[in-house]
């Protein structure tokens, strides 16, 4: 699957966004080694911090179907933003733990921009589970 095709899946996922407060719909699509694709969209709440972002939703969705970090090969995230949509700090932390370090992450917008990055670039020197050890 090409980055553009995965981005199209993220655009499809974006249609499922529940974002009545920000009116900022985000979609994500997570490609696995076996070819399966898990979708996520942001789901907001009247209690704002309860909101779930699109990319975390896609990761959790895949994990609830039994997929693991080693299965993930590409992730696309898209919003109707001027520049390619950049993941928030919370999502960077989740990605740092749950998604392979150097696998591609495609950030996009509805103008067709696609910027490639990876987990390491998004959150260098991330707090990791090893840091919990004394
Ligand atoms: N949001 C995402 O879902 N992913 C991002 O990468 C950036 C932000 C959501 C959270 C909230 O529902 C809305 O976008 C505005 O912040």
pLDDT (average), residues 6-31? 98
58 lines ligand 1 (CB under 6 A): no
24 lines ligand 1 (CB under 6 A): yes
Delimit the domains of the chain by residue range: 3-132
| 22 bridge partner residues | none
pLDDT digits (tens, 9 = 90+) for 25-68: 999 999 999 999 999 999 999 999 999 999 999 999 999 999 99
84: which DSSP letter?
Answer: P
Question: What pLDDT sits at residue 63?
Answer: 98
What are the catalytic residues? 55
Question: What pLDDT sits at residue 123?
Answer: 98
Of 54, 76, 89, the one to substitute when testing ligand 1's pocket (max ligand atoms within 8 A of C-beta) is 54
Q: What is the dihedral of CA 55, 61, 63, 64, to 10 degrees?
A: 160
Of all protein residues, whose CA lies closest to atom 14 belonging to ligand 1? Answer: 24
21 lines ligand 1 (CB under 6 A): no
pLDDT (average), residues 6-19? 98
Question: What pLDDT sits at residue 25?
Answer: 98
What's the CA angle centered on 51, arms 9 and 43, to 5 degrees? Answer: 35
Distances, alpha carbon 49 to alpha carbons 44, 54, 115, in Å? 8, 14, 28
Does this model's pTM top 0.75? yes
The ligand 1 atom nearest the CA atom of 57: 3
Question: What pLDDT sits at residue 37?
Answer: 98
Question: What pLDDT sits at residue 62?
Answer: 98
pLDDT digits (tens, 9 = 90+) for 65-122: 999 999 999 999 999 999 999 999 999 999 999 999 999 999 999 999 999 999 999 9
CATH architecture of 3-132: 3-Layer(aba) Sandwich (3.40)
Helix (H) or strand (E) holding 110: none
Count CB-CB contacts under 10 A for residue 33.
10
* Banded model confidence at residue 126, pLDDT cuts 50, 70, 90: very high
């Amino acid at each position: 699957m090409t980055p553009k095709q995965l981005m199209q899946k993220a655009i499809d996922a974006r249609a499922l966004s529940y974002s009545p407060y920000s009116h900022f719909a985000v979609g994500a699509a997570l490609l696995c080694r076996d070819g399966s694709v898990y979708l996520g969209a942001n789901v907001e709440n009247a209690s704002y911090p309860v909101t779930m972002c699109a990319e975390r939703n896609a990761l959790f969705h895949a994990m609830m179907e039994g997929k693991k970090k080693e299965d993930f090969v590409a992730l696309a995230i898209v919003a109707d933003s001027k520049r390619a949509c950049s993941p928030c700090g919370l999502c960077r932390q989740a990605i740092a733990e749950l998604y392979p370090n150097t696998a591609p992450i495609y950030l996009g917008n509805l103008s067709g921009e696609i910027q490639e990055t990876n987990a390491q670039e998004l959150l260098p020197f991330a707090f990791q589970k090893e840091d919990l050890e004394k």
